[in-house]
Amino acid sequence: MKVLVTGVKGQLGHDVVNELEKRGHTAVGVDIEEMDITDFASVEKTLTAVSPEAVIHCAAWTAVDAAEDAENQEKVHLVNAIGTENIAKMCKHLDIACMYISTDYVFNGQGTDSWKPDCKDYAPLNVYGQSKLDGELAVSGLLSKYFIVRIAWVFGLNGNNFIKTMLKVGASHDKLTVVNDQIGTPTYTFDLARLLVDMIETDKYGYYHATNEGGFISWYDFATAIFAEAVALGHSEYDSGHLTVAPVTTAEYGISKAARPFNSRLDKHKLVENGFTPLPTWQDALKRYLKEIL
């Protein structure tokens, strides 16, 4: 199977290409140098030349706070909405499947119930969330052969993420505060890539949610787990004698440019119902990840 993967330089795109190749598929990874998704002519030329059997669309503007800046908002829309629409148009023309990676930010981030994949109660909190929703609507509006997979709290080897930030800041400070009222579950791109390839090998189209298993936690919980695991791997600079981590509310932490969801709980039952193997626990994923980077 030949699959074109956008955003190959990102955390997820990098791992998806590796997983496809591991299984003997032909993976064609592209980034902006090879294909500008905001330019339909570029998308048309590349997809026509490659002639893939499916597209896994990982490329996106993901700088959530920067998306709020007036000078960036048009570009965010171009990348996440228009770029996705361009890809969907070509997938329709070629009559191939499109997998679009989305986010819980399409919802309002309130309450305590887990968001179900087929919920249409959209209410994005910020520019980024609206742009990703616009991308979702372009895909579902143009195509019948599509997967829309919402993920949250992503970390991987290729790029920056919360774990790398905590390790960097924790090594240079003796006190940290981390919010404890935003709840969700981490997603390791290595594990997610396996699931996405499982999915693209089928025709079980529709909306899905995918994060690691292991239960819901706060960012504070995640930070403390990161440091505890780092200490277990021999990095004593992160132990309680050197570093104190305190929980704070979002309000106490301070206002960021973009509103953040308090509730990033994603219901993943549909994966099992459709015969897909859930991801391992985030605790297991964290251990494997830290062994890779420390």
Q: What is the pLDDT of residues 95-150, one digit of tens each?
A: 999 999 999 999 999 999 999 999 999 999 999 999 999 999 999 999 999 999 99
**pLDDT-based confidence at 94, cuts 50/70/90?**
very high
CA end-to-end distance (rounded Å), the chain: 35
Residue 275, pLDDT score: 98
What tens digit of pLDDT does each residue of 22-72 get?
999 999 999 999 999 999 999 999 999 999 999 999 999 999 999 999 999
pLDDT of residue 223 exceeding 80: yes
What tens digit of pLDDT does each residue of 177-204 get?
999 999 999 999 999 999 999 999 999 9
Residue 255, pLDDT score: 77
Beta bridge partners of 207: 148
Query: Domains in the chain, start-ordered, CATH in brackets?
Result: 2-155+187-212+266-280 (3.40.50.720)
Percentage with pLDDT > 70 across the chain: 100
Token pair of 52 as six digits: 């893939």
The answer to whether residue 188 is catalytic is no
Residue 45, pLDDT score: 98
C-beta of residue 5 within 8 angstroms of C-beta of residue 16 = yes
pLDDT of residue 256 exceeding 90: no
Q: Is 101 helix (H, G, I), strand (E, B) or coil?
A: strand
Q: Is 100 helix (H, G, I), strand (E, B) or coil?
A: strand
Residue 196, pLDDT score: 98
Sequence-distant (≥ 6) Cβ neighbours of residue 250 within 8 angstroms: 179, 181, 182, 260, 262
Percentage with pLDDT > 90 across the chain: 98
Residue 159, pLDDT score: 86
Supply the DSSP string of 266-286, one letter for each residue.
B--HHHHHTTPPPPPBHHHHH
Q: Is 277 left (phi over 0), alpha (psi -120 to 50) or beta?
A: beta
Q: Which of 100, 105, 128, 208 is catalytic?
A: 128
Confidence (pTM)? 0.98
Residue 135, pLDDT score: 98
Strand 183-184, strand 217-218: pairing: antiparallel
Strand 26-30, strand 2-6: pairing: parallel
Q: Is 242 helix (H, G, I), strand (E, B) or coil?
A: coil
Containing 236, the helix (H) or strand (E) segment is none
Q: How far apart are CA 24 and CA 294, in angstroms?
A: 30
Residue 254, pLDDT score: 87
